Amino acid sequence: MKRAITTFFVTVLLFTSCARDTKDFVVTIKTPYGDMIAILYDETPKHKANFIKLAQEHYFDSLLFHRVIQGFMIQGGDPNSKKAKPGESLGNGGPGYTVDAEFIPALFHEKGALSAARLSDQVNPQKASSGSQFYIVQGTVISPQEIDNLRYDQMQLMTGLRKMFEDPSNKPLLDSLNQLYFAGDMMAYQQRLFALAPRVEKATGLKVISEVSDAKIKAYTTVGGSPHLDGQYTVFGKVIKGLDVIDKIAAVQRDAGDRPLEDIRMTVTVQELSRKKITKEYGYEYPEVKK
């Protein structure tokens, strides 16, 4: 009898999970400049659950977009902004907890990416996310020629080269690089650095070269984004309607601390809809689930 009950429970659980898989939450961020509609990624479950919880509790309502930088991003979610005075410095508030980082290579900082703000590496080496502060990427479009900048970890490359140059036998290589650098031919200098990447990896064991997906190349060279943030901050959602609202907010006048001179308040709600309806109404195509 006990085995039968267990089997029934598991069957019900599986059925319930499958039923839940047919629905998802749609996020609406209302602002004076229009509404942004976003979805939250299943691949970042901790951030998704936390954002939904806060939205359902009306945590974000009346909070400001307290930091905007044109060509980069718009940021909000600081509870201290609800009653902040004009010119007051913001950006340190939160719900009193952080969310573990959830870095997924397939989720990147294209325009419209919904990402978690966090404290700097010096005080937050785990890169844990703020419990409530988030930003939405505006970014810029990069040229196809700049894609190489995405393929190489330039900090690791320079670290590896410094290690190699500790060996006197590599002095001719250092001299050739210095010659290009001091000649002012920065394009040739950078191309030479990238060409040395495989040699640096072999000599030092450092990971310098990364694969860049076709989806990432297409996004950054068409709609744009902020690729330098990839792997540093958790991307947990995406604006699927209202990208123009990001542009409008990013363009407002701001003070020396990047706070808008006018208060731009938000109201955030979530609604559960079938995934088919989300695709029909907003054109968002869910990725196929691998079996």
Buried b (16+ CB within 10 A) or exposed e, 105-142: eebbbbbbbbbbbbeeeeeeeebbbbbbbbbbbbbeeb
Residue 135 has a pLDDT of 98
Residue 190 has a pLDDT of 81
pTM exceeds 0.85, yes or no: no
Residue 188 has a pLDDT of 86
Torsion of CA 113, 116, 122, 124, to 10 degrees: -140
Dig out the tokens for 125 from the structure: 């080496």
> Three-state SS string across 2-51, please?
HHHHHHHHHHHHHHHHHHHHCEEEEEEEEECCEEEEEEECCCCHHHHHHH
Which domains occur in the chain, in start order? 27-142+219-282 (2.40.100.10), 153-204 (no CATH)
CB of 227 within 8 A of CB of 109?
yes
Buried b (16+ CB within 10 A) or exposed e, 159-179: ebbeebeeeeeeeebeeebee
Amino acid residing at 159: T
Residue 129 has a pLDDT of 98
Residue 13 has a pLDDT of 38
Residue labelled with tokens 């209302």: 30
Closest CA to 193 of 145, 162, 146, 154: 154
Closest CA to 161 of 178, 148, 147: 178
Distance CA 145, CA 147 (A): 6
Give mean pLDDT in consecutive 10-residue pieces for the chain, a chain of 291 residues.
39 40 92 98 98 98 98 98 95 97 96 97 96 98 81 85 93 91 84 90 90 90 92 96 98 96 98 96 83 45
CB of 129 within 8 A of CB of 103?
no
